[in-house]
Structure 1
Amino acid sequence: MSRAEHVLAIAESWIGTPYRHQGATKGIGCDCIGLVLGVWRELYGSEPPMTIPPYAPDWAERSCEERLLHAGRQLFGAAMPLSEAKPGDILVFRWRAGCAAKHVGILAGDGWFIHAYEQAAVTRSALVDGWRRRIVAVHRFG
């Protein structure tokens, strides 16, 4: 199994995990960041080499600090263009101009991605234009 296939298999195993702000436990609860942290743990067998400090649900709107983009660069290196994205890659989304990027998901291929959806659960969603135009970075598990 390739690294990308392994990442995707792990992400798919999280589908149905309830949404819980700052959670990162499969089957119990996670948010979008927790999903990526959980995939990291299962893939590498350890926590990422950096910690994510506690954050409020509206942290991106209040601070406009690009925490997700910074963490992506630290963990995965420079972002790649969307045109190079492959299944298993991490997608980083910005809801609106002037605010920090606030959402992440994992590309599942064939126009789908997996993410922790607020007020729902980890799910597979269509990567429609409304989502696609909000992508600001793409990273790959190394």
Structure 2
Amino acid sequence: MRAILSCMVCAAALLALAGCGTSRPPSRSVPVAPVRTTPPLTAEQAHDIAIHALGLVGTPYRYGGNTPDSGFDCSGLIGYVYRNQVGTPPPRTVAQLDTWGYPIDGRELRAGDLVVFGTGSRPNHAGIYVGEGRFVHAPSTGGTVRLDLLQSRHWARQNAAFRRP
């Protein structure tokens, strides 16, 4: 009797396993969001980032610069503001900033988001969105950190992408 019961249990187990293996629907390829390694910015942090960036308008541009004393290039400005406001050091280059955080639609922009520009396949400039269609950036040698409109003639032609750290 035990042998019969044992065989019945084995047969039931084999049927269950066989059923599990053949009735599973085929897997779908679903895009997976990147794993966030830092917590999302609060509304207060995003506001503080924008205010801090606005306070640096007028600081001289310097290639490779990343402090108010030495001057800023575009990615140095972003790094300085984020390190000081949220303690999160962003990547150093514009190409790396182009993959930092999450892509967002331009209609979803809020203060503290990044604006990354590039007319080709490689991004070449970045700034910090501060609201009302404006962003703060360190544009070029001989210039200073300034506030510009995204829809100005020059920047509207620069193929902007938007990132939320």
What TM bracket, shorter-length normalisation? 0.7 to 0.9
Q: RMSD in angstroms over aligned alpha carbons?
A: 2.2
With structure 2 as the length reference, what TM-score do the two structures score? 0.64
The answer for the alignment partner of 1:107 in structure 2 is: 129
Identity of aligned residues (%): 31
Unaligned runs of 5+ in 1: 53-66
SS at match of 1:79: strand
Contact 1:16 1:27 in 2 (8 A): no
Matches within 5 A, 1:1-142: 2-45=44-87, 47-48=89-90, 52=92, 68-73=94-99, 75-76=100-101, 78-94=102-118, 96-97=119-120, 99-118=121-140, 119-127=142-150, 128-141=152-165
Q: Which has the higher contact order (CA 8 A, sep 6+)?
A: 1
SS at match of 1:113: strand
- d(CA) in 2 for partners of 1:46, 1:80: 20
- d(CA) in 1 for partners of 2:97, 2:136: 19
With structure 1 as the length reference, what TM-score do the two structures score? 0.73
The alpha-carbon distance between structure 1 residues 100 and 125, as it changes in their structure 2 partners (threshold 3 A), is same
The alpha-carbon distance between structure 1 residues 36 and 86, as it changes in their structure 2 partners (threshold 3 A), is same
The alpha-carbon distance between structure 1 residues 12 and 4, as it changes in their structure 2 partners (threshold 3 A), is same
The alpha-carbon distance between structure 1 residues 86 and 47, as it changes in their structure 2 partners (threshold 3 A), is closer
- d(CA) in 2 for partners of 1:84, 1:68: 21
The answer for the alignment partner of 2:11 in structure 1 is: none
The alpha-carbon distance between structure 1 residues 12 and 27, as it changes in their structure 2 partners (threshold 3 A), is farther
The offset of 1:79, in angstroms, is: 0.9
The alpha-carbon distance between structure 1 residues 137 and 42, as it changes in their structure 2 partners (threshold 3 A), is same
Contact 1:14 1:27 in 2 (8 A): no
1:34-76 Cα shifts (integer Å, max 9, x gaps): 011101111223534x5x4xxxxxxxxxxxxxx6354442x31
